[in-house]
Amino acid sequence: MANHYDVAIIGSGPAGYVSAIRCAQLGLKTVCIEEVANQNKAALGGTCLNVGCVPSKALLESSLIFSNTNHNLKDHGIEVSEVSLDVNAMHLRKDKIVSSLTKGVSGLFKLNKVDTVQGKAYISDPHTIKVSTEGSDLNIRAENIILATGSRPIELLDYPFDEEFLFSSNGALKFSEVPNRIAVIGAGAIGLELGSVWARLGSEITIYEALTDFLPNADDSISKEALKIFQQQGLNIKLGTEIESLEVIDNQVEVKASNDEVSNLQVDKVIFAVGRNPTSKGLFDPALGIQIDDKEFVVVDEHCQTQVPNIYAIGDLVRGPMLAHKASEEGIMVAERIAGRNYSLNYKNIPFVIYTHPEIAWAGYSEKSALEEGIQVEVGTFPFQANARALTSNESTGFVKVVVNQEDDSIMGVHALGPSAADVVQQGLIAMESKVTAKELGSVMFSHPTVSEALHEAVLSAKGNAIHLNNRKKK
């Protein structure tokens, strides 16, 4: 292995490994450095692949199948009895998926001739990275350096993770048995997804959220309907409630919370889902002049370049939402720019997805945010109750909503709560990025029956032209 590269990338998560592959495709000699080891090899894939996005979605799918088997098969004329649960088998399936994907990243590195180094990296000067391994230290020289070390779960000072009673989001994916009662701190995407997994498997879930608004970044109509649905599913969501104390007593955690009518709630486990912090400390010599803000994010420009021209930072290390797809696209952007190409990202159209059931997804402006900027909009909605494909799948909860600019008919936002919400919103996002107007999207032929027709009807509804709604607007 060489010790001089065109590009050296620190971190192999969705930001790092995607950037490494793209750099290599562009003819740049590339190395990827990963601190975390698995069987004495770099654990490629980062948090998302190993302990985050992928394993959580595997458990969400398994738990949904278990819940549907217990509660929803009668609607299809299917009777079952004595359904058993093997949590260990669920974990084995999850681990198999993770192993397959991490091996896939390793294979892609080999295919694209990306070198891999396992060890802790430290940038000592603009072109030198010292990598500490168990046996020895290695100096790597690189013309360009990309920081992609990701983030870690936020740990409250008064309540450090012990992974026995007080759990990080990582530890909450590894319960060996289903707890009777769980308290989840935080009602964002992570809290809702983890709460959903264990609620479906039989746990009694209480979710505490300090904010008074539920999912404040989603469209108001989506968040209000979602809250109602989750409460019907048995998630006890307490808004405007802060944790006053947590105390382990006789193998139970006593939870005291503000504005809580039930005092001293006893639970088996507490899951903290209060966000993540960038892993930016100890990466480089402070004398380099790379800035870190008060929230530990590495300060970069719109193209992810730091104050040192040949050093970049991407993904969870920098401003913006901590999302795997945003991280990957930043990795590609930086690779392209290092190769001398003009490449930028549209940060206004980042898709957001919460993988509950039903799914929640959105991209672009909400109705409220558009009006707050003084933009006059037309709004179209269409319920999945009127969608044939959703009805045949017994998934008619929720709706699709589009926000259209009155002035130029541009689609400014797409929001969905319901079956395949992420895919429906992605279709809307393609239209937004391609500058397709509402009229043009409304004229596109959608196959029948599909859940995507709800997007079609919502766009038509914005103009009062929906076919399968009674309450049409006047033309």
Q: How confident is the model at residue 43 (pLDDT cuts 50, 70, 90)?
A: confident
Domain termination residue (choose one: 316, 347, 378): 347
Q: Same domain, yes or no, for 435 and 457? A: yes
Q: What contacts 181, CB < 8 A, 6 or more positions away?
A: 203, 204, 205, 206, 265, 266, 267, 268, 269
Q: Same domain, yes or no, for 123 and 215? A: no
Mean pLDDT score across all residues of the chain: 95
Report the pLDDT value the prediction gives residue 338, as an integer from 0 to 100: 98
Q: Same domain, yes or no, for 222 and 367? A: no
Report the pLDDT value the prediction gives residue 180, as an integer from 0 to 100: 98
- pLDDT tens for each residue of 188-211: 999 999 999 999 999 999 999 999
Residue 141 maps to which CATH number? 3.50.50.60
Q: Same domain, yes or no, for 267 and 206? A: yes
pTM score, whole prediction? 0.95
pLDDT at residue 474 tops 50:
no
Secondary structure string (H, E, C) spanning 23-84: HHHCCCCEEEEECCEECCEECCCHHHHHHCHHHHHHHHHHHHHHHHHHHCCHHHCCCCCCCC
Within-domain flag for 12: yes
Report the pLDDT value the prediction gives residue 133, as an integer from 0 to 100: 84
Report the pLDDT value the prediction gives residue 472, as an integer from 0 to 100: 53
pLDDT at residue 263 tops 70:
no
Residues tagged active-site: 448
Buried b or exposed e, range 146-175, using 16+ CB within 10 angstroms: bbbbbbebeeeeebebeeebbbbbbbbbeb
Q: Same domain, yes or no, for 456 and 436? A: yes
Q: Same domain, yes or no, for 330 and 192? A: no
Report the pLDDT value the prediction gives residue 22, as an integer from 0 to 100: 98
Q: Same domain, yes or no, for 270 and 282? A: no
- Domain count within the chain: 3
Least confident among 87-101, 254-268, 423-437: 254-268
Within-domain flag for 158: no
pLDDT at residue 406 tops 80:
yes
Within-domain flag for 467: no
Within-domain flag for 471: no
Report the pLDDT value the prediction gives residue 36, as an integer from 0 to 100: 87
Domain termination residue (choose one: 326, 347, 368): 347
Q: Same domain, yes or no, for 292 and 405? A: no
The H or E element containing residue 133 is none
pLDDT at residue 250 tops 50:
yes
pLDDT at residue 1 tops 80:
no
The H or E element containing residue 314 is none
Q: For residues 116 and 42, is the Cβ–Cβ distance under 8 A?
A: yes
Residue 446 maps to which CATH number? 3.30.390.30
Within-domain flag for 116: yes
Q: CA 201, CA 180: separation in Å to the nearest integer?
A: 10
Within-domain flag for 103: yes
Q: How confident is the model at residue 218 (pLDDT cuts 50, 70, 90)?
A: very high
Q: Same domain, yes or no, for 270 and 307? A: no
pLDDT at residue 50 tops 50:
yes
Q: What contacts 100, CB < 8 A, 6 or more positions away?
A: none
- pLDDT tens for each residue of 112-162: 999 999 999 999 999 999 999 877 899 999 999 999 999 999 999 999 999
Within-domain flag for 468: no
Q: Same domain, yes or no, for 282 and 133? A: yes
**Does 449 sit behind a cis peptide bond, omega within 30 degrees of 0 on the bond before it?**
yes
Domain termination residue (choose one: 241, 274, 307): 274
pLDDT at residue 301 tops 70:
yes
Q: What percent of the chain has pLDDT over 90?
A: 92
Helix (H, G, I), strand (E, B) or coil at 351: coil
Tell me the β-bridge partners of 123.
129, 284
pLDDT at residue 40 tops 80:
no
Q: Same domain, yes or no, for 436 and 387? A: yes
At CA 146, angle to CA 143 and CA 147, rounded to 5? Answer: 140
Within-domain flag for 353: no
Report the pLDDT value the prediction gives residue 409, as an integer from 0 to 100: 98
Q: Same domain, yes or no, for 136 and 250? A: no
Compute the average pLDDT of residues 316-330.
98
pLDDT at residue 475 tops 60:
no
Report the pLDDT value the prediction gives residue 38, as an integer from 0 to 100: 78
- pLDDT tens for each residue of 345-355: 999 999 999 99
Q: CA 237, CA 228: separation in Å to the nearest integer?
A: 10
pLDDT at residue 264 tops 50:
yes
- pLDDT tens for each residue of 71-110: 999 999 999 988 999 999 999 999 999 999 999 999 999 9
Report the pLDDT value the prediction gives residue 37, as an integer from 0 to 100: 79
Which residues constitute the domain of residue 210? 166-274
